[in-house]
Chain A
Amino acid sequence: MRGFIPCAALFLLSLAGCKAGKDEKVAIADTRPKTGKELYEHWCAACHDAGPGHPGTLRMAGDFGDNRSVLIGREGVDKDLVKYAVRNGFNMMPPFRPTEISDEELELLAAHVAGGKP
C-alpha cells in the first residue's frame, strides 16, 4: 500500500485553527480513494465514462465503434487486460506508475472494471 494513514479517527478531526508548527505533523482527513469503485472514479472515469466529454470513450468509438466504446461493461475487458493497459499505456493513454496506482490498488481497480458495473 502507498502508506495510507490508518486514521479513521483522524478523518473526523476538524482542522479549524490547527496551524502547523515548522516540524509538527498535522492530522488531516485521509480522503484518498480506497475501493475499486472509488479508484475507478478517481483515475479512469474522467476519460472512460459513457457520454460526451470523455476522450477515452470518444477515441474508442472511433477505433471500435459506438457500441464498444465504454470501458466498463465492454466485452472482452478482463482483469489482465486492465492491468496491462494501466501499466503499459494504451495508444493515447499513457501508463500509470506503481507510485500512482499501487499494485494492490490496481487489483481492486481491475476487478471493478472487469466486474462490468459502473
Chain B
Amino acid sequence: MLTRRRFVQGSAFAAGLGLVGQNALWAATDMATMPPGLTGTAFQEALRAMRSVVGARYVFADETGLLGYHDHFAMKPIEAHMPSAAVAPRTVEEIQALLKIARDHSVPVWTISTGRNFGYGGPAPRMPGTLVLDLKRMNRIIEVNERHAYAVVEPGVSYRDLYRHLQMTDSKLWIDCAAPGWGGVVGNLLDRGVGYTPMGEHFLQQQCGMQLVLSDGTVVDTGMGGQPGRSAEHTYRYGHGPWLDGLFTQSNFGVVTRLGVQLMPEPPGYRPYMVTFPDEAAIEPLTEAIRPLKLAQIIPNAATSTELIWEAAVEVRKDQYHDGAGPLPDSARKKLMADLGIGAWNFYGALYGPEAVMDATWPVIQDALGSIKGARFYSADDKKGSAAFAYRAKLMRGIPNMTEFGTVAWIPNAAHVGFGPVVPVDGRLALRQYNRVRELSTRAGFDYFGEFVVGWRDMHHIFMPAFRRDDEAEKARMLDLLEALIDDAAADHFGVYRTHLDLMDKVASTFSWNDHALGRLNARLKAGLDPAGILAPGKSGIWPERYREAGK
C-alpha cells in the first residue's frame, strides 16, 4: 500500500493536487477503538472467529482497512463514530455465523449495504467501537420479473448496478433512484429515501417482500414470503396477520438480506418539464397549486420545487459569483437567475403515458401553475445544454447520475448534511419552513440549499447545506445549526423524516407525545427482538439497555 507520506511527496505534488493534504480523516489519529466493555484480547478472539467465517481478506481491522468505514462528511471529530473493525459476509449463512460470534463475544454490529449514505453518516456507526457489518459483497440481482414488474435484490446492489443490468438485458422496466446514483437500492429504501419517478416514495410504492436475519440468527421472510411456495411474495406485500416490514426500516431490529422491489414499466411516452418562478415567496402559491394536482395524480411523479442555489450549484461554483465570506448576496443571486435562466423557485415534473393522455394532462398543469406570478414553462428542447434540466430529466425516468453532487462542489473541499422536516402540502407551511430555515442558515453563515419534494400527500423539505471539511469551526457551527433547526421544527410540530448519526437521539427525543410512548415502545421491541443488544446500538435513537450509558 502506498504510504500517505510518499504519496504527498510524490505524484500528488507533481499533479498539482496540493489539497490532498487536507483530505484524509485519519491524518491526526492512530488509535484503535474497542467495543464498549470489551477487552482487546476478547475482541481479537472475536475477530479471529469472524475470519474463519468470511476469510481474512474480508475482516478489516487496521487503519488502512478501515479507511472506507468513516463518515467522510463528518461534522464531529472522527473518534465520535470510529468503528472497531469491519467484516463483509457474502451469504445469509455467513451473517448467521457472524451474529453468533457477536452474541457470544458481546460485539455490537452496525449494518451497511452500500455505505454511500453521505449526508446522513455514510458507512460509519452511531456508537464508536461498533463493528461494521458490510453487506456490499451481497450484490446479487436475484430475479427480474418483466411480467409483473419487479426485481429481487441483495443489499449490495446499487442503483447503477440495477440500472446497468436492466439496460444490458433489454429490460422494459425503469428503476427509481435517489439523486446520487451511487446509492443502494435496499439501503435507501430501508432509510425511507425518495426518488423522482411515479415510484418515488420507495418504501410505500416499491418494497414488496423482505428477508431478514434476527439477532438470534433466525431467518424470516415477511408477508407472502412466509408461506411455502410464496407465489405472490413480490406482488402482494401484506401476507396474513400483522404487516411487519416497516419495523425493519430505520431500525435496529434485524439485518435485511433481500428485498423485492417493484419497478415501473417503461411508459409509451415521457415529457419532462420545468416551470420557473422569480419570487422567493412563490413557494406558497406553487405549493397550493401542486396539492390538488398531486392528490388527483395529474402530476404522477415525485415532483420537486428547488430553490435557486441548489439549482445553480449543479452548473457553477460559488467563487464564480461571490468570493467573500458568508451566504451569497442578493446581487449575486439575481445574476445567477439571469445567467442560468432559472428562478428563485424551479419546479420539475414530468408527463408519462400515451401521447393522447399527456396531451390531455398538460393544459391542466399549465393552467394551474401558469396562474402564479412570473411563471415560465420550459421543455427539454428549451433547456438543451442545461446540466440542471438534464439531470432532473434523468432522475424523473430513473437514470442514475451524480450531477446533484455539484452542490458539494459549490465550495472547495466540502461536505453536505441533510435536514429533512416533513411538511403537509400546504403553501403557508412551506413558506414558513423556507423562511425559517433560510433565516437560521443565513445567520449561521451558510447558503440555503433547499427543495420541497412532493411524494403524494406530504412534502419532504430537504435542506442539504454544504460546509468545509477542513474547517473545524465551520463544522461545529453546522452541527449547531442543525440542532437549532430540529428544535425550531419541533416547536412548530414538524417532524424530521431522516437524520444524520449525530442527531438521531435529538430527533427521536422530539417524538415525545405521551411521555415518549413511541420511544418506549421502540425500546420494548428492541429488547424483545434483540435481547443481546448487538444490532446497531443507537440507530434512530433506539438503544439497547447494555449500551444506553455508553451511547451518551
Contact = CB atoms under 8 A, between A and B. Distances in A.
A binds B: yes
A26 B234 CA distance: 16
Contacts of A2: 137, 139
Contacts of B64: 87
Contact of B2 (A55, A84, A91): A84
Interface string B1-43: 1101001001110111101101111000000000000000000
Interface in B128-155: 134, 136-137, 139-147, 152
Interface stretch (B275-283, B356-364, B409-417, B432-440): B409-417
Contact of B412 (A46, A47, A63, A100): A63
A77 to B, nearest CB: 6
A20 B142 contact: yes
A62 B7 contact: no
Given A15-B143, A55-B403, A100 B15 contact: no
B319 A62 contact: yes
Given A47-B405, A53-B391, A92-B414, A81 B7 contact: yes
Interface string A50-89: 0011111011011110001000001111101101110111
Interface residues of A, number: 54
The interface residues of chain A, by DSSP majority, are classed as loop
B165 to A, nearest CB: 4
Interface in B148-184: 152, 156, 160-161, 164-165, 168-169, 181-182
B254 interface: no
A42 B137 CA distance: 16
A98 B230 CA distance: 35
B136 A83 contact: no
B23 A90 contact: yes
Given A52-B315, A62-B317, A63-B19, A92 B164 contact: no
Contacts of B405: 47, 55, 92
B58 interface: yes
B115 interface: yes
B2 A97 contact: no
Nearest to B64: A87
A31 B221 CA distance: 27
Interface residues of B, number: 86
A48 to B, nearest CB: 9
Given A76-B15, A76-B16, A26 B143 contact: yes
Given A28-B141, A31-B165, A53-B391, A94 B72 contact: yes
A8 to B, nearest CB: 14
Given A88-B4, A92-B469, A100-B136, A76 B69 contact: no
B415 A53 contact: no
A54 B201 CA distance: 26
Contacts of B137: 2-3, 99
Contacts of B409: 55-56, 58-59, 62, 92
Contact of A46 (B88, B123, B134, B181): B181
Contact of A91 (B20, B115, B160): B20
Contacts of A29: 165, 168-169
B66 to A, nearest CB: 9
B466 to A, nearest CB: 9
B401 interface: yes
B11 A81 contact: yes
B494 interface: no
Contacts of A75: 15
A68 B14 CA distance: 13
B273 interface: no
A32 interface: yes
B446 interface: no
Interface string A97-110: 11110000000000
B412 A59 contact: yes
B244 interface: no
A97 B136 contact: yes
B259 interface: no
Contacts of A74: 15
A22 B115 CA distance: 28
A52 to B, nearest CB: 4
A78 B317 contact: no
B23 A26 contact: no
Contacts of B408: 55, 59, 92
Given A56-B409, A84-B2, A97-B69, 17 more contacts: A17-B147, A22-B225, A26-B142, A55-B403, A55-B404, A58-B317, A59-B317, A64-B16, A81-B11, A87-B67, A88-B4, A88-B24, A91-B412, A92-B408, A92-B415, A95-B72, A99-B58
10 contacts: A46-B401, A52-B315, A53-B401, A58-B409, A76-B17, A85-B20, A90-B20, A92-B405, A92-B415, A97-B115
Interface of A: 2-3, 15-22, 26, 28-29, 31-33, 42, 46-47, 52-56, 58-59, 61-64, 68, 74-78, 80-81, 83-85, 87-92, 94-100
